[in-house]
Structure formats: C-alpha cells, structure tokens
Amino acid sequence: MGMISIDGDKCKRDGICVRECPTAIIKLKDKESVPQLMRGGDESCLRCGHCVAVCPHGALSHRDIPLEACPPIEKDLKIGLERVVQLLRSRRSVRLFKDKPVEKEIVQQLIKIARYAPTGSNMQLVEYTVFTDRKKIRQLAGMTVDWMKYIQEKFPGEPTAVYMPMIISAWDMGFDSVLRSAPALIVASAPKENRNGMVDISIALAYLELAALPSGLGTCWAGLLQGALLSWDPLKEAIGLPTGHRHHYPMMIGYAKPKYYRLPERKPPRITFK
Ligand SMILES: Cc1cc2nc3c(=O)[nH]c(=O)nc-3n(C[C@H](O)[C@H](O)[C@H](O)COP(=O)(O)O)c2cc1C
C-alpha cells in the first residue's frame, strides 16, 4: 500500500485533496482516475493530515494518519465567537493555588490536547517534563532564588536585578513568588537544533492553559525560572531535560483559588494595515 490510499467508490474526483495539500504532492491525472501521490511525495509529506481532513467523502486515508483515527468534526460542538472571546478573556495568570494536587492523568490529558497546537513543518518535537511533587517544586524555586542572589552580587547593574531584591526577601520570609507554591510545573522542551522549537513550545503551552480552564485549573508562565534555567547549572541538573533539549518558559499549574467575575480591558491594539 502507498502512503495515501483512496477508496475509488467514495472518491468523487473533485480534486479537493489536490488543492489542499500544502506541499502539492497529490495529483489528479484525469477525471476518471483517483488522485495519486507524486513520485517522491513520501519525503515531502508533512504528515499534517489535511488530505484526510478535507475530503468530504471520507475517501482518503494516510498510512500515518489513518481515516479511522480521524473522528468527524461534530457540528453540535461548534462554539460561537462570543464564547470563544469569553474563554480567552477569562483566562488569567493564576498565582494562588488550592492545596490540592494535580492528578497526573489530568496533566497527561492536557498535554494530549496541547499536541494539536501547530508546530513548524508539523515537526511535533515538543516534550514535557512534569513535576507534581510540591517539595521538589519548592526546591526548584529555591534554586532560582539562589541564582538571583548570584546575579545580584555579580552583576548589580543588570536590568533584571531591579525586581530581584523583593523576590529574594519574600523568599527569605517564606513566600515563594517564583513558582507561587504551585502543586505542579510543566517544563516543555524541544531539540536544540529545531529552529521553531521555542515557538512550538509557547504555542503548545498556550493551548494547554486554555484547555485547563474547564477543569478549574489555573496556570502561570514561570518567567523567573526561565531566566535561571538558561544558565544556572544546579537548576539544569534538577530539572533534567531530555538530552539535547532546550526549554522555553515553563508553566505553573494547579487548581485556582481565586474566582474571577469581570473581564478587564487591555490596551487598544496598535495595528497598521498596509
Ligand atoms: C512570557 C511570560 C512570562 C511570565 N512570567 C511570569 C512570572 O514569572 N511570574 C508571574 O507571576 N507571572 C508571569 N507572567 C504572567 C504575566 O504577568 C501576565 O500574563 C500578565 O500580567 C497579564 O495577566 P493575565 O495573564 O492574567 O492576563 C508571565 C507571562 C508571560 C507571557
């Protein structure tokens, strides 16, 4: 069997898959025959599944994205713009978490959803290192504070050093403003040589934080940990990313303590149409 198989009885020879394919590797010779994969198409195929998704007749299957593994889009589940906007606007950075662990199964489920985020050339190389042990997370926050103390001492003129004293003194008083005593932490990473890796990580986690909302989970990007993890060896070792991987902004996650009742406005957008 080739990489693409087409059911000749179902196929209407309408050329929809041919026009849709982003790498133009499907061709339609004439109106009688079903579309075919071009020679060498296997190498150029992105495995994006557009050909399977776009066929209204369910005629096309891909070896790596079989038709049976592609459920139909349910019309009843479609949501309107108002709901989309409310979902997006009601997501907040949560910095107060309930004293309740986040189940590994839920994290797994969210990561599975995050896989549907786009990735450059559909590479899908993002991996996730997840911490669900509060003590360990506190240790990571402590190491970030150690890094801040080091930066302050060695490079007092650094612009980032401005907010560090406050965070350090809060920590010394027992308050974790680095990882907010979060019950879980997700560090997404991608291979160093993957050009789009950092963007892919960010988009995946942005999907994940939206997907977390219906379960009452809140998230917050861990900017302070991000900085420390770039250079602080003890932290790198404690996080232990997959070999050859680079991290980008990690994400705290936990059951949100606050409830929000309003949707604050943002700055007006600055747009230039040309
Ligand atoms: C890249 C990035 C890094 C961030 N780092 C932190 C952080 O280290 N600590 C924190 O409390 N919030 C952090 N935030 C959250 C922002 O402060 C927050 O998104 C912003 O104030 C808007 O609030 P909202 O997310 O509730 O809409 C970060 C957000 C982003 C996108």
The verdict on the CB of residue 229 being under 6 Å from ligand 1 is: no
pLDDT tens string 18-40: 999 999 999 998 888 999 999 99
Q: What is the mean pLDDT of the chain?
A: 96
Q: Is the CB of 27 under 6 A from ligand 1?
A: no
CA of 118 to the centre of ligand 1 (A): 22
132 found inside a domain? yes
Quickly state the pLDDT bin for 160 (edges 50, 70, 90).
confident
Mean pLDDT of 227-234: 96
Note the pLDDT of residue 61. Answer: 98
Q: Residues 168-197: what's their mean pLDDT?
A: 98
Residue 163 pLDDT level (bands cut at 50, 70, 90): confident
Residues 122 and 29 in one domain: no
Q: How far apart are CA 161 and CA 153, in angstroms?
A: 9
> Which residue minimizes the CA distance to atom 19 of ligand 1?
93
Q: Determine the distance separating the centroid of ligand 1 and the alpha carbon of 112, expressed in angstroms.
A: 24
Whether 235 and 107 map to the same domain: the answer is: yes
How far apart, in whole angstroms, are the C-alpha atoms of residue 148 and residue 169? 11
- Other residues' Cβ atoms within 10 Å of the Cβ of residue 233: 9
Looking at residue 1, what is its pLDDT?
62
CATH number at 11 reads: 3.30.70.20
Q: Is residue 80 part of a domain?
A: no
Tell whether 141 and 107 lie within a shared domain. yes
Does residue 15 form part of some domain?
A: yes
Q: Cα–Cα distance between 197 and 190 in angstroms, integer?
A: 5
Mean pLDDT over residues 108-129, rounded? 98
How many structural domains compose the chain?
A: 2
**How far, in Å, from the CA of 195 to the mean position of ligand 1?**
25
51 lines ligand 1 (CB under 6 A): no
Query: What is the rounded end-to-end Cα distance, in angstroms, of the chain?
Result: 48
Q: Read off the pLDDT of residues 77-114 as tens digits, 9 standing for 90 and up.
A: 999 999 999 999 999 999 999 999 999 999 999 999 99
User: Are residues 222 and 179 located together in one domain of the fold?
Assistant: yes
Q: Looking at the whole model, is its pTM more than 0.85?
A: yes
Q: How confident is the model at residue 238 (pLDDT cuts 50, 70, 90)?
A: very high
* d(CA 274, ligand 1 centre) in Å: 31
| % of the chain with per-residue pLDDT over 90 | 93
Q: Is residue 274 in a domain?
A: no
Query: Which residues sit opposite 131 in a β-bridge?
Result: 185
Same structural domain for residues 99 and 214? Answer: yes
Using an 8 Å Cβ cutoff, are 168 and 141 in contact? no
Atom of ligand 1 nearest to the CA of 180: 11
Provide the domain limits for residue 42: 4-69
pLDDT in tens, 251-272: 999 999 999 999 999 999 999 9
